[in-house]
């Protein structure tokens, strides 16, 4: 479990959060729930981007390591490729870890600016010069700070590894590298999938370890469902067509682009491009809840002559445009679409007010849905005003922990 402490950030004077597979942020208006959710979204998205883009594509080992470390690195890599255990000195991993965390700071700076549509140093609580964002696990902590007069986010400390790491060639998929840590007398033991040994980049493996149980946890992406999702879904065609019309006049007349917050821009971008994606690994969860929640089906398809997808609601053999369907369907349809096309078992999903505009019966169904996603591996972060919805989540968690026979008796 990760413990996160936030100080002097927007309306938040101080907050301590235990981030678990399902985290609920509850409180009155203006208490900082959305600020916290957006900050966590920026943070997790930054780590995924650093790992899967910067580290895997651009890292040069000889620039990160001393000559002796590089020789030891090459020796460990050769041992691993020969099918033997590779013993990695902690100084090598810590050199790579320092690079990963510094890269993450730069990415987080850009991510916060994008998500909040404001420079990070402008989000410091009024009257304060500095904000802090501390992340700690059982292996250590990371302190990320930024100052009002400083344009750059700085990572002040990061987890250090003081024990040797042993890599063992074993069967399994890439994900097992991030989940197979076992603390033993001889150090941290990780299994490396055999299918990766032929063309392995040990730096990537070590970076995965840095961000896994030794560091922060590996996640490939973070998705955000904003509170305004229903209205944005209904108006996505107007917004997309307007943007397309403006671009068609580029260079001919001045263009004034309306400002959206980062999570709204990301959400619209996901909706507009969703028709180009195949159904994902969690589509069965979307299928299971679609009819029960929507009392129909939500369909998305791309027309060649339009810059936006057509999203329609099917019910009893009839098609309905979005402006003719209920607010409850518009609220829950994005959750169905995200689950079907965008989420995977290593995703993070942040959803604001999932209970909004829903009958209590459907609030319970959404609570079941969210717990099902969490049990499938998705890290879910929820903001809510509702004690009732919190109770439904708690009930759903307890229900998911009993066997099928007991569940039938309980119902």
* pLDDT 10s digits, 86-99: 888 888 877 877 77
pLDDT greater at residue 2 or residue 381: 381
214 plus 226 within the same structural domain: no
Edge-to-edge strand order for the sheet containing 12-19? Answer: 12-19, 2-9, 130-137, 140-147, 154-157
Residues 6+ apart with CB under 8 A from 259: 117
pLDDT greater at residue 262 or residue 182: 262
326 plus 393 within the same structural domain: yes
214 plus 231 within the same structural domain: no
The predicted structure's pLDDT at residue 224: 92
Question: How far, in Å, CA of 194 to CA of 212, rounded?
Answer: 19
Q: Is pLDDT of 243 > 70? A: no
158 plus 230 within the same structural domain: no
Cα–Cα distance list, 332 to 229, 255, 289, 296, 366 (Å): 9, 35, 10, 12, 8
Cα angle, residue 191 at apex, residues 190 and 196 outer, rounded to 5°: 125
Strand partners, 25: 383
Looking at the structure of the chain, the number of domains it has is 2
* Average pLDDT of span 148-153: 64
332 plus 367 within the same structural domain: yes
194 plus 276 within the same structural domain: no
- Beta carbons of 108 and 43 less than 8 angstroms apart: yes
3-class state of residue 251 by DSSP: coil
> Would 16 be classed as within a structural domain?
no
Q: Which domain holds residue 141?
A: 2-10+32-219
What is the residue-averaged pLDDT of the chain? 76
Band of pLDDT at residue 247, cut at 50, 70 and 90: very low
- Beta carbons of 334 and 225 less than 8 angstroms apart: yes
195 plus 72 within the same structural domain: yes
53 plus 107 within the same structural domain: yes
Burial of 145 (0-12, 13-18, 19+ CB in 10 A): middle
Phi, psi of 80 (to 5 degrees): -65, -45
- Give the side-chain half-sphere CA count within 13 A for 58: 9
* pLDDT 10s digits, 293-315: 999 999 888 776 665 678 889 99
């Amino acid at each position: 479990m990760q413990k996160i402490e936030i100080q002097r950030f927007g309306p938040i004077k101080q907050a301590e959060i235990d981030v678990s597979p399902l985290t609920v942020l509850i409180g009155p208006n203006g208490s900082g729930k959305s600020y916290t959710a957006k900050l966590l979204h920026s943070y997790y998205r930054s780590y995924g981007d650093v790992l899967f883009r910067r580290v895997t594509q651009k890292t040069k080992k000889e620039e990160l390591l001393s000559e002796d470390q590089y020789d030891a690195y090459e020796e460990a890599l050769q041992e691993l490729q020969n099918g033997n255990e590779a013993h990695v000195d902690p100084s090598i991993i810590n050199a790579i870890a320092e690079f990963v965390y510094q890269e993450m700071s730069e990415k987080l700076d850009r991510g916060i600016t994008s998500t909040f549509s404001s420079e990070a140093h402008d989000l410091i609580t009024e009257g304060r010069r500095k904000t802090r964002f501390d992340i700690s696990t059982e292996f250590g902590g990371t302190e990320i700070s930024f100052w009002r007069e400083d344009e750059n986010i700085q990572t002040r400390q990061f987890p250090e590894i003081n024990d040797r790491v042993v890599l063992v060639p074993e069967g399994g998929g890439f994900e097992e590298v991030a989940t197979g840590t076992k603390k033993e007398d001889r150090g941290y033991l990780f299994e490396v999938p055999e299918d990766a040994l032929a063309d392995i980049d040990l730096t990537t493996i070590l970076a995965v370890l840095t961000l896994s149980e030794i560091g922060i946890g590996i996640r490939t992406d973070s998705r955000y469902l904003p509170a305004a999702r229903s209205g944005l879904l209904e108006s996505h065609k107007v917004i997309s067509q307007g943007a397309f019309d403006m671009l068609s006049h580029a260079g001919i007349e001045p263009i004034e682009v309306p400002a959206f917050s980062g999570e709204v821009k990301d959400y619209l971008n996901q909706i507009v491009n969703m028709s180009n994606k195949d159904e994902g690994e969690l589509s069965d969860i979307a299928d299971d809840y679609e009819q029960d929640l929507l009392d129909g089906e939500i369909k998305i398809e791309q027309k060649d002559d339009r810059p936006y997808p057509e999203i329609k609601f099917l019910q009893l053999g009839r098609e309905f445009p979005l402006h003719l369907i209920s607010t409850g369907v518009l609220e829950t349809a994005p959750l169905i679409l995200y689950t079907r096309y965008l989420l995977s078992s290593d995703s993070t999903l942040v959803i604001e007010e999932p209970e909004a505009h829903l009958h209590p019966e459907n609030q319970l169904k959404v609570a079941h849905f969210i717990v099902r996603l969490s049990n499938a591996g998705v890290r879910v972060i929820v903001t809510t005003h509702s004690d009732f919805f919190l109770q439904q989540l708690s009930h759903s968690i307890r229900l998911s922990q009993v066997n099928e026979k007991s569940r039938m008796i309980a119902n």
